[in-house]
Amino acid sequence: MKAKGYFGEFGGSFVAETLLQPLRELGQAFESAKRSKPFQRELDSLLRDYAGRPTALTYCSTLSRRLGFKVYLKREDLLHTGAHKLNNALGQALLARTMKKKRLIAETGAGQHGVATAVAAARLGLKAEVYMGTVDMERQKPNVQRMRLCGAEVRPVPSGSKTLKDAINEALRDWSASFEDTHYLLGSVLGPHPFPSMVAHFQSVIGREARRQLLKTEGRLPDQVIACVGGGSNSIGVFQAFLGEPSVKLTGVEAGGHGIRSGLHAARFAGTPDAGVGVVHGTRTFVLQDAFGQIKNTHSVSAGLDYPAVGPMHARLRADGRVEYVSATDPEALKAFTLLSEAEGIIPALESAHALAHLSRLKGKLKRDAIVLVNLSGRGDKDLDTACKELNL
Ligand SMILES: *Cc1c(COP(=O)(O)O)cnc(C)c1O
């Protein structure tokens, strides 16, 4: 049997020796929190009374009519701060407080996870410092302002490509020296064990709710579930509730950027089945890298999907054939962004628009009473500038 934290040949804990002990302690604290009634009660109350759970499940009548099958959205866009990331940030911040840590550090690319961390820290009375590449700070100014308003310190990272992967390096470096009083609040199902399992656990509320809500309104499970895949947390969050149901087809949508052949994309699974396995930021998984193992630059119109690695659980789910992974290009995502806004009055995040883009490909292929559930991971307010520029609005 393999060590804990492996998903088939993927996952693990590839870190400097100094981090092995804090990771072990975190794993133990997480396991006892999972079994602790008071912890669960406090987290449930935060999610309900502060963050706004359960989020709605919305039937899209216009979209359903146009596509020829039933479309339901799980509305993580309605969660406080506008995306699913707060589920994980509140869970980990509460765990950090249970472990008597006083300070949270986090990395952020688009700034959404940084905002969720700043908000959770403010609510729970913890200090927050967020590492962010200087290029991203410029691109995502409103999120920098939100973090600062909530009392977090934003630490600029001017090294490397000045984006997310450099921010993660800095956060890991900080944690190696500060773990006595600091929790590293990682934002997706990535990094060394126990992070992937822990983040998946805190996001599993999405799928649990959606399953219950759909059984209540339709009396049966969906035929398909679709979610976008950046690091992979919102998709794992919704997929988990259906993994044991072979009748439910699960599809993950990666960022196809300018198209796979252009090389300018973030579709880690677009290569041959075993191309691109490597170790990055403490975990063994699919990574976009060149022949020398150097991490490639990625591109997506959506900042939240623009990351060179994918969570190790996804690598396993793909190897097992349980989840199908496809990609949607920037123009396809922008088209879906407009479509949902016009048809239903819901402006989706550009990340979520990738999942919606896959819906259009199913047109004419499903029965009228087929049910397709899409996880709407976030709202599009943060993307208005980008989208309107691209759409010439
Ligand atoms: C960060 C983000 C994503 C991508 O992250 P995952 O870990 O793959 O979920 C998707 N949608 C939104 C709205 C985000 O903010």
Q: Are residues 157 and 229 in the same domain?
A: no
Residue 3 confidence (pLDDT): 65
Same domain, 129 and 266: no
Question: What's the 17 CA to ligand 1 centre distance in angstroms?
Answer: 30
Residue-level pLDDT at 1: 43
- What's the total number of domains in the chain? 2
List the residue whose alpha carbon is closest to atom 5 of ligand 1.
230
For 104-151, what is each residue's pLDDT tens digit?
A: 999 999 899 999 999 999 999 999 999 999 988 988 899 999 999 999
Same domain, 64 and 100: no
Q: Of 2-6, 29-33, 156-160, which range is least confident?
A: 2-6
The verdict on 96 and 214 lying in the same domain is: no
CA dihedral of 374, 377, 381, 387, whole degrees rounded to 10? -60
pLDDT in tens, 343-360: 999 999 999 999 999 999
Distances (CA, A) of 274 to 36, 218, 269, 320: 40, 39, 9, 13
Range of the domain at 319: 53-82+204-391
Tell me whether residue 175 is in a domain: yes
CATH number of the domain within which 332 lies: 3.40.50.1100
Ligand 1 pocket: which of 199, 205, 233, 384 to mutate (most atoms within 8 A of CB): 233
Domain annotation covers residue 99? yes
* Same domain for 184 and 77: no
253 and 180 in a common domain:
no
Can you tell me which atom of ligand 1 is nearest the CA of 82? 13
Among residues 162, 184, 200, the one where a domain terminates is 200
Known catalytic residue at 60:
yes
Mean pLDDT score of the chain, rounded to an integer? 96
Domain co-membership, 78 together with 89: no
Helix, strand, coil shares of the chain, percent, nearest 5, are: 50, 20, 30
CA of 304 to the centre of ligand 1 (A): 5
Distance from the alpha carbon of residue 112 to the mean position of ligand 1, in angstroms: 8
Given the structure tokens 């959506």, which residue do they identify? 302
Q: For residues 24 and 170, state if they share a domain.
A: yes
Q: Return the H-helix or E-strand segment holding 20.
A: helix 20-35
Of the residues 74, 75, 85, 302, which should be mutated to test ligand 1's pocket, given the most ligand atoms within 8 Å of the CB? 85
- Final residue before a domain boundary, out of 144, 168, 200: 200
Over the stretch 260-270, which tens digit does the pLDDT of each residue have? 999 999 999 99
Q: Ligand 1, residues 108, 112, 382: which to mutate, most atoms within 8 A of Cβ?
A: 112
DSSP letter for each residue of 263-276: T-SB-TTSSSTTTT
Has residue 274 got a pLDDT over 80?
Answer: no
Strands 283-286 and 277-280: antiparallel
Atom of ligand 1 nearest to the CA of 230: 8
pLDDT (0 to 100) of residue 124:
98
What are 98's strand-pairing partners? none
Task: Give the span between the Cα atoms of 30 and 44, in whole angstroms.
Answer: 16
- Report the separation in Å between the CA atom of 303 and the middle of ligand 1, taken as the mean of its atom positions: 9
**How confident is the model over 306-311, as a mean pLDDT?**
94
Q: What is the dihedral of CA 85, 90, 91, 94, to 10 degrees?
A: 160
Within-domain flag for 3: no
**377 and 231 both lie in a single domain:** yes
Using CB atoms within 10 A of its CB, is residue 216 exposed (0-12), middle (13-18) or buried (19+)?
A: exposed
Domain limit, last residue, from 167, 200, 233 = 200
Q: Do 162 and 226 fall within a single domain?
A: no
**Tell me: the pLDDT tens digits for 177-200?**
999 999 999 999 999 999 999 999
In this structure, are 235 and 366 located in the same domain? Answer: yes
Which atom of ligand 1 lies nearest, measured to the CA of 349?
Answer: 13
Q: Which atom of ligand 1 is nearest to the CA of 109?
A: 1
In a domain, 373, yes or no: yes
> What's residue 96's pLDDT?
98
Q: Report the 10 Å Cβ neighbour count for 158.
A: 10
* Ligand 1 site residues, Cβ closer than 6 angstroms: 83, 85, 112, 188, 228-235, 304-305, 349, 351-352, 377-378
Cα–ligand 1 centroid distance for 103 (angstroms): 24
Q: Is there a domain that residue 1 lies in?
A: no
Instruction: Note whether 174 and 36 are same-domain residues.
Output: yes
Distance 83 CA to ligand 1 centre (A): 8
228 classed as catalytic: no
pLDDT for 11 beyond 90: yes
| Residue 2 included in any domain | no
- Measured between alpha carbons, how far is 64 from 60 in angstroms, rounded to an integer? 6
- pLDDT reported for residue 389: 92
pTM confidence score: 0.97
DSSP 195-207: HHHHHHHHHTHHH
Whose alpha carbon is nearest atom 13 of ligand 1? 378
Q: How do residues 37-93 score in pLDDT, each as one tens digit? A: 999 999 999 999 999 999 999 999 999 999 999 999 999 999 999 999 999 999 999
